[in-house]
């Protein structure tokens, strides 16, 4: 993206965002949530929960999807992008936790759920899973750091427990990706039937897997431009095929579920809901339909834009669940205050910056020094290795 | 004995003595401006709302199986055996899930505080131990709000309805809503006309969540076995593939299976 405009421009934007974020941080912690957000008793959850937490955790789903693909399903060809994916996920989860620190009324009590149990609470479960999974991500990422500093012994220990770690990571992700949907199960009276469904956890889970695939495509595309590292195109194409199938499955489930609950008649009532619902649907259905066409799947750029469209549809869905669908029952309209938006943008910018910084310092895009014993013998890659990047000309 | 409140809208004269008494119990300032705000907030925990000639009462309903108790990740809420749902501010971390989940929009947050807490009616649980009625009931000049045992109050409500045909709609609000509440209401007009939600499910809300949460242990067990199995199978296949000297095939098959 940096290539659209001169680098200094982005540096300025970044600096401005950080300065604004610092100011908002002061307002938030000195004057409280009332001064920094548009939240109120009728609308207690806003942008920070809807976007930073719900979308943030979802967008970090690439970590577990790829860890499972490579380490459990042994699809070793995807190995070059496991590290970037784990790093993205790790940064993502840390940012989600930072966002939570802004949103919680008393963030210094964030550890309370770890000792004050309430197993009937979805939030309790999410809290535990996110804590544990962030730890797992740290451990999955640790080899990179250890390698960099040549610490062989801890590296060996870590590698010997990698399998249980990866399995734990996948399970924890499964639990909390779906549980983010379960959070809303207790609100049949609040969430509009366009989004409320007993299937929410399953829908959240499947769409998170879709995001894992789409984010992989997205990252691969961008890292090819920024770092010259990428997946071979056949792999990207394969990913896009799987994405199309996952999307088809998701949409079928979503529509059948809506039909069985008679939710479609709600589309007749006027208001913004149906348009935002439509937007969410189109952003998801369009890439699915396109990706089923061989012609589209032969164009890296088209695959990239299909992934972007799905990612936006995914975010639209999460925001609809968290905000649009709640508005009418709560009796108020919610638009985020500029300070909420600043923190959200600031965190995204921070995420990008940290990612670039870490990749400059650590061997994220280089191969591990210890090749696994069962590594595929690398045949000299034929010309097919024309990569993602050839069609992304420098503008 | 489970403590409860019966509020009879047909008796309420809208004098707001209950609001005033409640505020004094909590040590909250009470003036005309606050009286005019017809909603519960950190400023007042019970409110009387005007609907033309009629009134309604809004506060925590002290559900029998409360959403707030089930959703709070730190267990800050407890439904006591005596009836009241009480809140422990020393545990609360301020996630506000209780507010998002409560079907009656009862919990309020201290948005402008640096150490914010949730506030809501606690049915004067300290006074319950001494057998005293709630402050709102005590202060009500019209006996529109009375405190008592829930079963007794249900009986009392039925009696009023039977003795005054035509004066009440045939419904005790709170008897069934979200599994029943410890605040019961009577009204002369359909409840939705005086600001109550009549579309709430009769099932207690925590059940909707539990339907899913209860599957977690099984998911973990089945999931770990499945993942280990897949690991084992694909690792084997890859070894076989490698022995055959065709690494790439392992991948192809893997994706298709
Ligand atoms: S009315 Fe709301 S706050 Fe009161 S007990 Fe029920 S769920 Fe909890
Ligand atoms: S805001 Fe406090 S009381 Fe309410 S659910 Fe969160 S931790 Fe529990």
pLDDT tier for residue A319 given thresholds of 50, 70 and 90: very high
Q: Are residues B236 and B141 in the same domain?
A: no
Ligand 1 probe mutation, B3, B46, B63, B87, most atoms within 8 A of CB: B63
pLDDT digits (tens, 9 = 90+) for B194-245: 999 999 999 999 999 999 999 999 999 999 999 999 999 888 777 777 776 5
Residues B175 and B227 grouped into a single domain: no
A317 domain residue, yes or no: yes
Chain A residues closer than 8 Å to B99 by CB: 41, 44
Q: Residue A381 domain-assigned?
A: no
Select from A164, A173, A187 the residue whose CB has the most chain B CBs within 10 Å, as the one to mutate to test that interface. Answer: A187
Looking at residue B72, which CATH number applies to its domain? 3.30.70.20
Tokens of B65: 């199986």
pLDDT of residue A323: 94
In a domain, B64, yes or no: yes
> Is B93 in contact with A109 (Cβ distance < 8 A)?
yes
Check: CB of residue A301 under 8 Å from CB of residue A391: yes
**B77 and B194, same structural domain?**
yes
- Domain assignment present for residue B223? The answer is yes
Average the pLDDT over B38-50 and give the result.
92
Most confident of the ranges A31-40, A152-161, A230-239:
A31-40
Q: Does one domain contain both B229 and B180?
A: no
Q: How many domains does chain B have?
A: 2
B109 Cα: distance to centroid of ligand 2 (angstroms): 10
Question: Per the CB < 8 Å rule, is B216 touching A125?
Answer: yes
How far is CA A318 from each of CA A58, A97, A197, A356, B130, rounded to the nearest angstrom?
9, 18, 14, 27, 49
pTM score, whole prediction:
0.88
Question: A176-190, A225-239, B39-53, B161-175: which has the minimum mean pLDDT?
Answer: A225-239
Kindly give the distance from the C-alpha atom of residue A183 to the centroid of ligand 2, in angstroms, as a whole number: 14
Cα Rg of chain B (Å, integer): 26
Q: Which residues of B touch A187 (CB under 8 A)?
A: 100-101
Of A283, A137, A125, A123, residue with least CA distance to A210: A283
Ligand 1 atom at shortest distance from the alpha carbon of B79: 5
Closest by Cα among A182, A168, A76 to A124: A182
- Please report the pLDDT score of residue A79 as a whole number: 83
A228 contact partners, CB below 8 Å, separation of at least 6: A389
- Does a structural domain hold residue A7? no
B183-186/B118-119 β-pairing: unpaired
Say how many Å lie between the CA of residue A323 and the centre of ligand 2: 19
Residues belonging to chain A: 395
Whole-angstrom Cα distance, residue A118 to residue A121? Answer: 6
The reply to whether B68 and B186 lie within a common domain is yes
Mean pLDDT check: name the lowest of A279-283, A297-301, B127-131.
B127-131
Q: Tens digit of pLDDT for each residue in A131-147?
A: 999 999 999 999 888 88
Query: Measured from the CB, is residue B96 less than 6 Å from ligand 2?
Result: yes
Tally the domains of chain A: 1
**Based on C-alpha coordinates, what's the Rg of chain A?**
21
pLDDT tens string A102-137: 999 999 999 999 999 898 999 999 999 999 999 999
The residue range of the domain holding A127 is 39-366
Residue closest by Cα to atom 6 of ligand 1: B63
- A187: nearest CA partner in chain B: B101
- Mean pLDDT, residues B103-131: 91
Beta bridge partners of B95: none
Q: How confident is the model at residue A381 (pLDDT cuts 50, 70, 90)?
A: very low
> How many Å lie between the alpha carbon of B98 and the closest alpha carbon of chain A?
9
Judged by CB atoms closer than 8 Å, whether chains meet at A186 and B205 is answered as yes
In a domain, B210, yes or no: no
Ligand 2 atom with minimal separation from the B68 CA: 5
In a shared domain, residues B136 and B252: no
Q: What is the mean pLDDT of residues A159-187?
A: 92
Asked whether residue B176 falls in the same domain as residue B246, the answer is no
Kindly state if the Cβ of B102 falls inside 6 Å of ligand 1: yes
- Residue B248: pLDDT over 50: no
Q: Which pLDDT belongs to residue A28? A: 94
Residues B121, B224, single domain; the answer is no
Please give the pLDDT value at position A229: 60
User: Among residues B184, B205, B226, which one ends one of the domains?
Assistant: B205
pLDDT score of A275 more than 60: yes
Torsion of CA A306, A311, A316, A322, to 10 degrees: 160
Across the interface, do B74 and A107 touch by the CB < 8 Å criterion? Answer: no
- Cα dihedral sign for B56, B31, A333, A186? negative
Q: Do B229 and B129 lie in a common domain?
A: no
Whether residue A32 is contained in a domain is answered as: no
Contacts with A, B 20-79, CB within 8 Å: 39-41, 67, 69-76
pLDDT score recorded for residue B1:
67
Which residues of chain A make contact with B201, given a CB cutoff of 8 A? 188-189
Q: State the residue range of the domain holding B98.
A: 3-205
Q: Which CATH number is A302's domain given?
A: 1.20.1630.10
CA distance A66 to A377: 21
């Amino acid at each position: 993206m940096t290539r659209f405009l001169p680098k200094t421009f982005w540096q300025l934007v970044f600096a401005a965002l950080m300065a604004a974020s610092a100011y908002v941080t002061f307002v938030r912690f000195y004057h409280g949530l009332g001064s920094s957000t548009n939240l109120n008793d009728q609308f207690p959850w806003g942008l920070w929960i809807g976007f930073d937490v719900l979308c943030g955790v979802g967008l970090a789903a690439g970590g577990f999807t790829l860890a499972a693909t490579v380490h459990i399903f042994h699809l070793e060809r995807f190995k070059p992008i496991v590290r970037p994916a784990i790093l993205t996920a790790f940064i993502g989860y840390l940012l989600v936790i930072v966002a939570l620190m802004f949103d919680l009324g008393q963030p210094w009590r964030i550890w309370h759920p770890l000792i004050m149990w309430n197993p009937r609470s979805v939030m309790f479960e999410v809290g535990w899973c996110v804590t544990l999974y962030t730890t797992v991500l740290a451990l999955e990422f640790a080899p990179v750091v250890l390698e960099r500093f040549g610490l062989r012994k801890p590296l060996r220990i870590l590698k010997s427990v990698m399998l249980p770690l990866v399995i734990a990571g996948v399970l924890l992700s499964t639990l909390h990706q779906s549980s983010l949907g379960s959070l809303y199960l207790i609100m049949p009276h609040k969430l509009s039937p366009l989004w409320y469904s007993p299937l929410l956890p399953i829908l959240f889970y499947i769409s998170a897997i879709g995001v894992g695939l789409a984010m992989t495509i997205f990252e691969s595309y961008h890292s090819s431009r920024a770092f010259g590292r990428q997946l071979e195109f056949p792999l990207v194409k394969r990913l896009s095929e799987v994405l199309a199938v996952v999307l088809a499955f998701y949409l079928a489930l979503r529509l059948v579920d809506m039909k069985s609950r008679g939710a479609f008649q709600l589309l007749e009532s006027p208001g913004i809901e149906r348009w935002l619902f439509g937007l969410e649907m189109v952003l998801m259905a369009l890439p699915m339909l396109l990706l089923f066409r061989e012609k589209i799947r032969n164009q890296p750029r088209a695959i990239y834009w299909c992934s972007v469209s799905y990612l936006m549809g995914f975010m639209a869905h999460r925001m609809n669940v968290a905000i649009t669908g709640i508005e009418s029952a709560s009796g108020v309209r919610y638009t985020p205050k500029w300070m909420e938006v600043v923190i959200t943008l600031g965190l995204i910018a921070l995420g990008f910056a940290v990612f670039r910084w870490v990749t400059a310092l650590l061997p994220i895009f280089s191969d591990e020094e210890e090749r696994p014993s069962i590594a595929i013998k690398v045949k000299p890659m034929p010309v097919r290795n024309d990569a993602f990047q050839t069609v992304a000309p420098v503008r | 004995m489970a403590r409860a409140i019966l509020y009879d809208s047909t008796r309420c004269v809208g004098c707001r003595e209950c609001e005033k008494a409640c505020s004094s119990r909590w040590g909250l300032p009470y003036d005309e401006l606050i009286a005019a705000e017809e909603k519960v907030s950190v400023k007042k925990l019970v409110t009387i709302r005007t609907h033309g000639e009629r009134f309604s009462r809004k506060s925590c309903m002290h559900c029998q199986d409360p959403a707030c108790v089930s959703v709070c990740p730190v267990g800050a809420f407890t439904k006591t055996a005596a009836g009241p749902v009480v809140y422990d501010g020393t545990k609360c971390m301020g996630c506000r899930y209780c507010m998002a989940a409560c079907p009656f929009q009862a919990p309020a947050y201290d948005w402008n505080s640096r150490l914010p807490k949730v506030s809501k009616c606690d049915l004067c649980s300290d006074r319950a131990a001494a057998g005293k009625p709630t402050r709102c009931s005590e202060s009500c000049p019209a006996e529109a709000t009375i405190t008592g045992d829930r079963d007794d109050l249900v009986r009392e409500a039925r009696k009023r309805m039977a003795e005054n045909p035509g004066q009440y709609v045939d419904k005790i609000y709170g008897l069934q809503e979200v599994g029943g509440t410890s605040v019961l209401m009577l009204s002369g007009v359909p409840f939705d006309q005086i600001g109550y939600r009549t579309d709430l499910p009769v099932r207690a809300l925590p059940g909707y969540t539990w339907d899913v949460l209860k599957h977690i242990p099984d998911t973990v067990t089945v999931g770990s076995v499945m993942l280990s199995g897949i690991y084992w199978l694909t690792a084997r296949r890859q070894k076989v593939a490698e022995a055959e000297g065709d690494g790439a095939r392992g991948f192809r098959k893997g994706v298709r299976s």
